[in-house]
Amino acid sequence: MTFYVESETDRELPFNAEEVAGRVIAEALETEKCPYEVSVNVLLTDNEGIHVLNREHRGIDCPTDVLSFPNVDYDVPADFSSIEDRAEDYFDPESGELCLGDIVISVDRVYEQSEEYGHSSMREYAFLVAHSMLHLLGYDHIASPEAEVMERKQEEILDRLGITRNEHGTDRTAPCQGEQLNEEKEV
């Protein structure tokens, strides 16, 4: 697995963002039984930066917490059976890795939402990475049944890693403002 975490904000997180992202990405892939080596890019930005991307790619003129730019089109979420039919679109010709896509996270929102939900900034960041990874694996939360499946899978990934809310935290399965984008991207 290859993943890159790049930051374009001066605001730092009080934990190793690359290490946490790597653990969450690996667990999401394991949970969904991905049979391939993959590559994922993570961009950390601020509310202003994600606001611009949200406006450009979704037509929504406000900041959000996370944006997902999937590279793979799935007929069924995390069904890898037909991926190789479009190998030239999905696999890096040099590394052979499946290029899943890009994750963009607002560090400002990590702090805001961790306070709002009463848990650590590390837990909020891990939640957003898990949420976005599920989008990169073909899941969505537009319809209620899909949202329930996605929420359950997010919690399963974090629980397996021991990343939980503290006993005073509130439930973090409230509707997220980040969305999947099914288009070519340049981030």
CA 11 from centroid of its chain's CA atoms: 20
Mean pLDDT of 97-102: 98
Check whether 99 has a pLDDT greater than 90: yes
Residues contacting 24, CB < 8 A, separation 6+: 126, 129, 130, 133, 157, 158, 161, 163
CA distances for 33 relative to 6, 28, 137, angstroms? 26, 8, 11
Q: How far is CA 110 from the centre of its chain?
A: 13
Burial class (CB in 10 A: 0-12, 13-18, 19+), 110: buried
Structure tokens at 139: 């899941």
* Least confident among 13-22, 67-76, 131-140, 169-178: 169-178
* Each residue's pLDDT tens digit, 165-176: 763 344 444 333
Say if residue 177's pLDDT is above 80. no
* Other Cβ atoms closer than 10 A to 5: 20
Distances (CA, A) of 180 to 9, 35, 79, 108, 122: 22, 22, 17, 20, 22
Look over the chain and give the mean of its residue pLDDT values, rounded to a whole number. Answer: 90
Q: pLDDT, tens digit, for every residue of 46-87?
A: 999 999 999 999 999 999 999 999 999 999 999 999 999 999
